[in-house]
Chain A
């Protein structure tokens, strides 16, 4: 199958900073990709480039199109939810639906209304009368009713309570995602999406420092809890990270044979957040 997104030497320089530094990656259809990085690492710039919202150097192919020159056509196949993408405060639910129905050829009004019927939102309600969670619900209802190939989510659940956050991802999995769709999501709440992802990309200082599918990640990285007496042996195997818990050391290894590690202690699959912290060490120092 053809990749949904291909980036070759993608770079973006602002006046005094490099936001993306010669980035290469490919995203296949039917995947849910987490783009994870510290603040200012280049996540949003990468998403903006994909959406045709910013100029860039290098090559970027999204659904076979150049987002800079074919943005209008591309936008029929791409949807976007961002923490900062605001709906006008005066607009009513019904007006928002009418608006999208008028401008978007792939919008399914019945689907949108069916989704909204399961929320507390009413047709007459204005955005300014809604809580943050309700606004995201409306946004999601509008976006999920569009039969697009690529959905880009930039911190979609920022500032939402746990109920809305869970419902957000549940709706996406239950009513939206399938083999023909692709989702890219950035978030700082890694724990919440860790099991949803098929692929993981870490971005740091404008570079992709890790790009793996989740299954390969489990084979490649391992966390081992080691008793003090075996800690020196573990250190010789070049761990990525070491931390102390209850008098034991927890080591994180990259690409060390798991049978070898099992001799040192209990082997576990590291969580994405542990891996992230170990990879990004020194970022703000």
Chain B
């Protein structure tokens, strides 16, 4: 597998973000095992220490737990905890700017919701 890394963020952080995204998307469910450090290192051609560091951060954030001799697993409640922190982050960091932009464009809630329901109809 080939992947391009962003030079302005350390790789272990980018790896951590990928795992977080996989948990949020449901690609990794609670109780699912994470691929082994060795496997990830080989697949992405990165140093095992980099992978360990990313996993350790996930352990520190209690999103992942180490089971002795078995490897790393997504903890119960990881998705909920992530959703909570992601929602908070969205409201704190993204929503003010987005709200300001909606105001500038004069888009109201009714128009936006109408647009959204049409989109989901087109998709189904």
Candidates A196, A198, A214; contact of B45 at CB < 8 Å: A196
Of the residues B8, B43, B45, B48, contact of A268 by C-beta under 8 Å:
B8
User: Mask for B42-86, Cβ within 8 A of A = 1, else 0?
Assistant: 111111111000000000000000000000000000000000000
Select the residue from A169, A170, A218, A271 with max chain B CB neighbours within 10 A: A170
Q: Which of B8, B42, B49 contacts A267 (CB 8 A)?
A: B8
B41 within 8 A of A: yes
Min CB–CB distance B43 → chain A (angstroms): 8
**Cβ of B98 to closest chain A Cβ, rounded Å:** 24
Verify if A269 is at the interface (C-beta below 8 Å from B): yes
- Tally of B interface residues using CB under 8 Å: 17
Distance between Cα atoms of A166 and B11 in the complex (Å): 19
Main secondary structure of the interface of A (DSSP, over half): mixed
Interface contact B45-A195, CB-CB below 8 Å: yes
B interface residue numbers (CB < 8 A to A):
5, 7-8, 10-11, 38-39, 41-50
Chain B nearest CB from A67 CB (Å) reads 27
Contact pick for B39, options A32, A174, A177, A192, CB 8 Å:
A174
Instruction: Indicate which residue in A32, A173, A197 contacts B42 across the interface (CB closer than 8 Å).
Output: A173
A interface residues, Cβ below 8 angstroms from B: 32, 166, 169-171, 173-174, 177-178, 192, 195-198, 214, 218, 223, 266-269, 271
Shortest Cβ distance from B49 into A: residue: A198
A196 touches B46 (CB 8 A): yes
Contacts of B47 in A (CB 8 A): 32, 195-198, 214
Task: Give me 25 A-to-B residue pairs in the complex whose CB atoms sit less than 8 angstroms apart, sorted by A's number.
Answer: A166-B45, A170-B43, A171-B42, A173-B38, A173-B41, A173-B42, A174-B39, A174-B41, A177-B48, A192-B45, A195-B5, A195-B11, A195-B44, A195-B45, A195-B47, A196-B41, A196-B45, A197-B47, A198-B49, A214-B47, A218-B10, A268-B8, A269-B7, A269-B10, A271-B7
CB–CB A195/B50 < 8 A? yes
A175 to B38 alpha-carbon distance, docked (Å): 8
Whole-angstrom CA separation of A214 from B10 in the bound complex? 11
Contact flag A174-B42 (CB < 8 Å), given A32-B47, A196-B47, A198-B49:
yes
Q: How far is the CA of A198 from the CA of B12 in the complex (A)?
A: 13
Residues on B with beta carbons closer than 8 Å to the beta carbon of A197 = 47
* A192 and B10 alpha carbons, distance in the complex (Å): 17
Which residues on A sit within 8 Å (CB–CB) of B10?
Answer: 218, 269
Q: B47 → chain A, closest Cβ, in Å?
A: 5
Residues of A within 8 A of B45 (CB): 166, 169-170, 173, 192, 195-196
Tell me the complex Cα distance, A198–B10, Å: 14
CB distance from B1 to the nearest CB of A (A): 10
Chain A positions within 8 Å of B44 at CB level: 195
Q: Which residue of A lies closest to B51 (CB)?
A: A173
